[in-house]
Amino acid sequence: MSVLHRGQIGLVALAVLSLVGCAQETRITRVDSGVVTDLSGRWNDTDSRIVAESMVKEALEYQWLNNFSSSKHRQPVVVVGTIQNSSHEHINVNTFVADLERELTNSQKITFVAGKGDREELRTERKEQAMYAREDTQKAPGKEIGADFMMKGTIATILDEADGTKAVFYQVDLQMVDLESNAKVWFGQKKIKKVVEKKRSIF
Amino acid sequence: MSPLASRPTAFVPARWGVLISTQSFFALLAFVLLTGCGPSVNRYLLIEASLRAHDPKGADAIVAVAEKDYGSKSRVLYGMDRGMTLQLAGDYQQSNAVLEQAEEELDRLYTRRIRTETLAFMTNDTALPYEGDPYEQVLINVLKALNYAVLGQWQDALVEARRIDHRLNVLSDRTKEKNAYRDDGFARYLSGILYESTGDVNNAFIAYRKAYESLEATRAWSHTAVPSQLRVDLLRTAEALHFTQELTEYQSVFPTTRWETSQALQQLAQVVVISYNGRAPRKEDQFLDLPISLDALQLVLLNRGFSQSSRHSNRAVDTALYGLNGRVIRVALPRLVPQKTRVPVDRVRLISDNGIRVTLNTELVHNVTAMADKALAERMAGVTVKALARAATKFALAEGATRGAQHAAGKDAAPWVGLLVGLLTKGLAVASEEADKRSWQTLPDEIHLARAWVLPGRYEVQSQAAGGPLDPLNPEAMQTLSLGPGETTVLIQRVMP
């Protein structure tokens, strides 16, 4: 084998090795959090955000808000209760609740109070303040604002699948319940339908 | 959060201990050393040894170490095996994580790659990604549901129950033959228990009814009778829902069955025992050597002997002999080897602080070996046709290559070139023939279940196989439970063999 031939082989081998070294199994691209990323067809951050925005907007446009404000001469106090996951997916309900809470708080049309989990933490903090904090900085118990309404709801799915095509139908039901009378003053519904098609074979 | 809390199961980490036992350590060491020498070592024997030594952490470590050996084609199998050993080791969250990955991988495998299929056709079916049999796919969700139930995450357990329902509905739509595996009595029954434990009696009744119908429909081949507890559950939920017609029908079918009303059970605590008994069946090669000439027939008979089983054959010798002869086509088919459990019934005894004794006798609810047998039988025709076509193609290609080489070599060199190329190509065709023997082997042979409602309080749990003595050295034999009214506790135990 000539020297030139060996050199050529060496160059080709080097090029192959370089290319192999450059090839990446994982590629990461930073995108805006508002960009829709439908990868698997499952419930994702976009669904959570869109549903929360549109449903809170809808809830605040209805008459119950004006009725309450005009009769009580103040903003209603709302707390978010349980959002039940009745779907086929392990949905992180906490992120959806956080989206709802954000939209409710930012609307400036209602007074939003902390939910059950947060309240426990805050009460523990107050108890500890009573023991350890300077007296003039302690926050007294019994001064919490009681909610007038509770927003609660469910996320449910209906699945249909055949021959690699799956139709996923999400239905989010939210309701605003008067905590005094248990009357449902608002009932909102948002539906999302996705069709996931999978090829049976590729090369 | 659900008011129904779950308690640590029989396999809590503390009971198994943090340290791996000496026996399992050596098993793991042997595995690490032997895997360096080739894939011949059977990891399942080592896992079994660890489980016998009551060391599920050791068993899990063996699967974890072998992750690379599973390879890219068996990612689902790795997830299945690991999901089970992690569950037995008491790491329920991690078990769910790997099982979730396996399920996602399974989803991706719906799309088949033509390249991979072609490669598998030219070599053997082990080149295909492992998808598992339908009953194994359902068991992924079953294991996840149990993990969530043990963790007290009942809403997540119900997600798995819904996934089971969806998976079985799709399977049922796809499978036309009525006698085939198209529904799953145990998975349905467990779904019903989960629904009822969370207060959804209506869905529980539907699941119980489907479980009953499925078990009845598959009784001939699943060798699993309708559990007496399921009869009780059907009657109780039908009554609770005021389904008078259904109640009358079931009463006429089970005239001797007595049950407590749902109302009477409300203030009691529920204990559900899931017992994994024995070892799942394994698969082995069954070689069919098809001679296409008289001298090849003589060779095959000489090599095998009339009565000798093909599974004892020496593959290296076969490759050389048949390669030299060039007139033997080898076909490899999978064969199931049952590893039946010797524990027909488990007995779990609950002893309260004030001395009240409650004995739970488990019942067979899922015969994994029967499921595997049925799954293989359903696939066998397709596997055989494919194996024959593959063997014929390999032979034709080898023959073509041999003749081509002879022609290219010229008159003088043709005989020895033909012999050499024939030996190589036909030997390769014989050597590469192998059945796909992969299966979820960390599963048990049988799954048993017991369900009882007891007075709330603290209980000591004792577990033993019926008729067998209580082994005081066995760490799975004792544990303490604290049960509140309306709570459901799931206990999982592995009984070997």
Categorize the per-residue pLDDT at B135 as very low, low, confident or very high, splitting at 50, 70 and 90. Answer: very high
Please list, in sequence order, all residues whose beta carbon lies within 8 angstroms of the beta carbon of residue B301, skipping any fewer than 6 positions away. none
Are B217 and B144 within one domain?
Answer: yes
With beta carbons under 8 A apart, name residues in chain B contacting A157: 162
Q: How far is B109 from chain A (nearest CA, A)?
A: 9
Q: Is the pLDDT of residue A195 over 60?
A: yes
With beta carbons under 8 A apart, name residues in chain A contacting B113: 201-203
Q: What value does the CA radius of gyration of chain B take, rounded to a whole number of Å?
A: 26
Angle between helices B114-122 and B368-431 (to 10 degrees): 70
Query: Which residue type occupies B185?
Result: G
Are B159 and B50 within one domain?
Answer: no
> Tokens standing for A161?
């699948």
Q: Is the pLDDT of residue B305 over 80?
A: no
The domain that holds B201 is classified in CATH as: 1.25.40.10
Q: How far apart are CA B474 and CA B493, in angstroms?
A: 12
pLDDT the model gives residue B289 = 82
> Tokens standing for B319?
């490759």
Burial of B416 (0-12, 13-18, 19+ CB in 10 A): exposed
Interface test with B, best of A25, A83, A161 (most B CBs within 10 A): A161
Per the CB < 8 Å rule, is A87 touching B162?
yes
Write out the H or E segment, with its range, that includes residue A166.
strand A165-178
Name the residue of chain A whose CA is nearest to B114's CA.
A203
Are B45 and B146 within one domain?
Answer: no
Are B118 and B186 within one domain?
Answer: yes
Nearest CB to B159 within list A90, A161, A203? A90
Q: How far is B268 from chain A (nearest CA, A)?
A: 26
> Which of B86-90, B237-241, B376-380, B469-473 has the weakest average pLDDT?
B469-473
Other beta carbons within 10 Å of B129: 19
Q: How far apart are CA B213 and CA B230, in angstroms?
A: 11
Section A171-187 average pLDDT: 95
Are B118 and B238 within one domain?
Answer: yes
pLDDT the model gives residue B19 = 37
Distance of alpha carbon B265 from the chain centroid: 34
Which residue, among B389, B399, B387, has the nearest Cα to B325 in the 3D structure?
B399
The answer to whether position B64 is within a domain reads: yes
Section B15-31 average pLDDT: 45
Q: How far apart are CA B254 and CA B237, in angstroms?
A: 15
Q: Which of B266, B297, B330 is the last residue of a domain?
A: B266
Q: Mean pLDDT of all residues in chain B?
A: 85
Per the CB < 8 Å rule, is B114 touching A202?
yes
Q: What is the largest CA-CA distance in chain B?
A: 97
Write out the H or E segment, with its range, that includes residue A77.
strand A77-86
Nearest CB to B114 within list A89, A164, A201? A201
> pLDDT (tens digit, 9 = 90+) per residue, A41-99?
788 888 998 999 999 899 889 999 999 999 999 999 999 998 989 999 888 888 888 88
Query: Which residue type occupies B456?
Result: P
Are B123 and B67 within one domain?
Answer: no
Are B56 and B196 within one domain?
Answer: no
Are B192 and B249 within one domain?
Answer: yes
Q: How far is A134 from chain B (nearest CA, A)?
A: 36
Are B95 and B150 within one domain?
Answer: no
Q: Is A90 on the interface with B (CB under 8 A)?
A: yes
With beta carbons under 8 A apart, name residues in chain B contacting A201: 111-114, 117
Q: Is A198 on the interface with B (CB under 8 A)?
A: yes
With beta carbons under 8 A apart, name residues in chain A contacting B111: 164, 198-202
> Which of B288-292, B305-309, B351-355 has the weakest average pLDDT?
B305-309
Q: Is A175 on the interface with B (CB under 8 A)?
A: no
Categorize the per-residue pLDDT at A142 as very low, low, confident or very high, splitting at 50, 70 and 90. Answer: very high
Are B54 and B91 within one domain?
Answer: yes
The count of domains in chain B is 2
CA neighbours closer than 13 Å in the CB half-sphere of residue A84: 13
Pairing of strands A77-86, A111-112: parallel
pTM (2 decimals)?
A: 0.81
- ipTM, two decimals, is 0.70
- Whether B186 contacts B211, CB under 8 Å: yes
Other beta carbons within 10 Å of A2: 7
The answer to whether position B2 is within a domain reads: no
> pLDDT (tens digit, 9 = 90+) per residue, B317-339?
777 777 767 777 888 899 999 99
Beta-ladder partners of B269? B454
With beta carbons under 8 A apart, name residues in chain B contacting A198: 110-111
pLDDT the model gives residue B391 = 84
Identify the top-confidence range among A191-200, B182-191, B344-353: B182-191
Per the CB < 8 Å rule, is B159 touching A85?
yes
Query: Which residue type occupies B270?
Result: Q
Per the CB < 8 Å rule, is B162 touching A200?
no
Q: What value does the CA radius of gyration of chain A take, rounded to a whole number of Å?
A: 27
The answer to whether position B239 is within a domain reads: yes
Nearest CB to B156 within list A84, A90, A157? A90
Which residue, among B276, B274, B303, has the nearest Cα to B287 in the 3D structure?
B303
- Whether B284 contacts B311, CB under 8 Å: yes
With beta carbons under 8 A apart, name residues in chain A contacting B156: 90
Q: Is A25 on the interface with B (CB under 8 A)?
A: no
Interface test with A, best of B148, B155, B173 (most A CBs within 10 A): B155
Query: Which residue type occupies B339?
Result: Q
- Whether B233 contacts B208, CB under 8 Å: yes
Residues of B with CB under 8 A from a CB of A: 100, 104, 107, 110-115, 117, 155-156, 158-159, 162-163, 166, 170, 173-174
CA neighbours closer than 13 Å in the CB half-sphere of residue B224: 27
Q: What angle do CA A70, A72, A76 make, to 5 degrees?
A: 95
Q: Which of B79, B109, B139 is the last residue of a domain?
A: B109
Q: Which of B250, B266, B282 is the last residue of a domain?
A: B266
Q: How far apart are CA A133 and CA A15, in angstroms?
A: 68
> Tokens standing for A146?
């009681």
User: Which CATH architecture group holds A43-197?
Assistant: 3-Layer(aba) Sandwich (3.40)
Per the CB < 8 Å rule, is A203 touching B112?
no
With beta carbons under 8 A apart, name residues in chain A contacting B115: 203
Domain range for B85 is 21-109
The answer to whether position B390 is within a domain reads: no
Categorize the per-residue pLDDT at B3 as very low, low, confident or very high, splitting at 50, 70 and 90. Answer: very low
Are B170 and B235 within one domain?
Answer: yes
